[in-house]
Amino acid sequence: MEKQPLLEVKNLITQFKTETEFVNAVNDVSFTLNKGETIGIVGESGSGKSVTSLSIMQLIPNPPGRISSGQINYHRKDGSVIDLVKVKNEEMRQYRGNDIAMIFQEPMTSLNPVMKCGEQVMEAILLHQNISKKEAREKTIHLFTQVQLPDPAGMFERYPHQLSGGQKQRVMIAMAISCEPSVLIADEPTTALDVTVQKTILDLMQHLQQQYNMGIIFITHDLGVIAELADKVVVMYKGKIVEQGAVLDIFSNPQHPYTKGLLACRPPLDFRVKRLPVVSDFMKIGEGGEIIELENTVNAALTSKIVTKEERETKRSALYQRDKLLQVKNVKTWFPAKKTIFGKVLSYSKAVDDVSFDVYEGETLGLVGESGCGKTTLGRTILKLVEASSGSILYKNKDLLQLSEGEFRDFRKNMQIIFQDPYSSLNPRITIGKAISEPMKVHGIYATAKERKDKTIELLKKVGLDEKHYNRYPHEFSGGQRQRVCIARALGLKPQFIICDESVSALDVSVQAQVLNLLNELKEEFKFTYIFISHDLSVVKFMSDRMIVMQKGKIEEMGDPDEIYLNPKSDYTRRLIDSIPHGNLEKIKAGIDAKKTIHSTS
């Protein structure tokens, strides 16, 4: 069957004005999206993939941005073709939502917090369709049913803050498909979601695509996600397309070193490696800005660093001969869920419900589970950032829950936490040098300001930053660099025990690999003990000596990560594992065959 073009992007250049010059955020980009086809645009933050999508929607703020040249040819439903670059803003409003719709990365910031979810979808329908409010309401509830929201009529009346992340994203999808657009642009729609929720959202998008025969542009930094979703892949680096082609060709035989690096840096599931490959293992930038491929990188980065089963067992045997650093016994953290008007608690939300485990000196214990399973609350309970309802937490045989706040303050420097969002855990008005050195001053570590500054600079270098960064502010850094600052701040107090709470979940997979390698290197050098919390089982499996799977405040199972992955005991763990986007060739081929069957029968 002949492919019908929907959207042709030709030699697109989008620029942003700085104080001295125009910078090309999108530089000579060309690709074609056909009916019923999915194109995956992949690349790290700053690669230009989101700016490409905003250019298509004509949402580039002018100033400072502008589309300086190129064409975006949209094939309308009546067969005519229009160049969206030449369309004026008033006319473009007819196309946005009606013909070309977009799902943004963070649904909470895309939804109006003071409007009911149903009313927001209704507003989009009434704007583009000549129907009554009653019909628009009925259509909205039908859309909520289509996107598999529980209790669609009830969801209509709820506000965004009353929905989970996955439910908010479904509302955004309902809004996007409300006018049955020809093109759907999904900009990182699953990045902040659990793997199980991510899988249901991806399955839903595929189902809706088949139903409406839409063309989808799916933007992500994770090649594993688009492996089983996309027909074609476009790989972007610094505003340019470095490689594009059929999904099977890109995954089976990548040509560009950047693509090879992106494919290799996700933690493998079928074997263990000592160190994750990173993009810099595959390429470097020459003096003139050209990309230089490094030779034999796959062998150097992967095969020589595989951890054998014997090596793992030897390490585990030595590890569990050591002393127990932390003992968590029958810990409960309950929050009041319902009260009478007199304040009497009628029911509790059991965030952590009778949890017990030990952590040995030098161990990395992984905590994995979906949002709401209690893993973050457990981590914060251990550090007394959240008050436990009952139980005991022994650190070097001293019960932390029996200590007063004053007594516990001395323990604070031994037990540190690295939070999920580095930007919100750094004060935007304090330089990173001060942010790292201030806890040293509070705890009386190092006698003088000069000693603290010298130590701060030493720590910056230790985490891969530079002395010149000392006087810079958090907004001047990328997400990965800010997370390195938070790691340096935690190291400044010479802790023995660190909790990493979703510390890499917001990062690109390539930056994530760098940070995970750094945490392992620092562990070896400083002999840390970690509790590593994540919803991503592949990341926890790479990092951990032992893994705990949590659900609804309780431990589902605990043991060797590789053994749990190969032989999960509970259905919940099995579902977590099945939801991980593997990106292997067998699944890609199966997906291609399934699409061929659908097209031949439709």
Mean pLDDT rounded to a whole number for the chain: 87
Q: What pLDDT, in 10s, does the model give residues 497-514?
A: 999 988 887 778 888 888
Query: Given a cut of 80, is residue 303 above it in pLDDT?
Result: no
The pLDDT tens digits for 31-62 are 999 999 999 999 888 889 989 999 999 998 88
pLDDT, position 147: 86
Are the beta carbons of 479 and 507 closer than 8 angstroms? yes
Provide mean pLDDT across the span 275-296. Answer: 84
Coil vs helix vs strand at 161: helix
Provide the residue ranges of all domains of the chain, joining segments of one domain with +: 272-307
Res. 296: pLDDT tops 70: no
Judged against a pLDDT cut of 70, whether residue 127 lies above it is answered with yes
Residue 300 has pLDDT above 80, yes or no: no
Q: Which residue has the higher pLDDT, 136 or 198?
A: 136
pLDDT at 451 over 60: yes
CB–CB of 360/324 below 8 Å?
Answer: yes
- pLDDT for position 325: 94
Question: What is the pTM for the complete model shown?
Answer: 0.85
* Alpha carbon distance 560, 312 (integer Å): 10
Give the model's confidence band at 192: pLDDT under 50 very low, under 70 low, under 90 confident, else very high: low
- Angle at CA of residue 144, ends 92 and 219, nearest 5°: 50
- Count the neighbouring beta carbons within 10 Å of the beta carbon of residue 218: 24
Our CA angle for 40, 46, 51, nearest 5°, is 60
> How confident is the model over 221-237, as pLDDT tens digits?
888 888 878 999 999 99
The helix/strand count (H/E) of the chain reads as 23, 24
pLDDT of residue 560: 92
Q: How many CB atoms lie within 10 A of CB 413?
A: 18
Lateral strand order in the sheet of 546-551: 415-418, 497-501, 529-534, 364-368, 546-551, 554-559
Whether the per-residue pLDDT at 183 is higher than 70: the answer is: yes
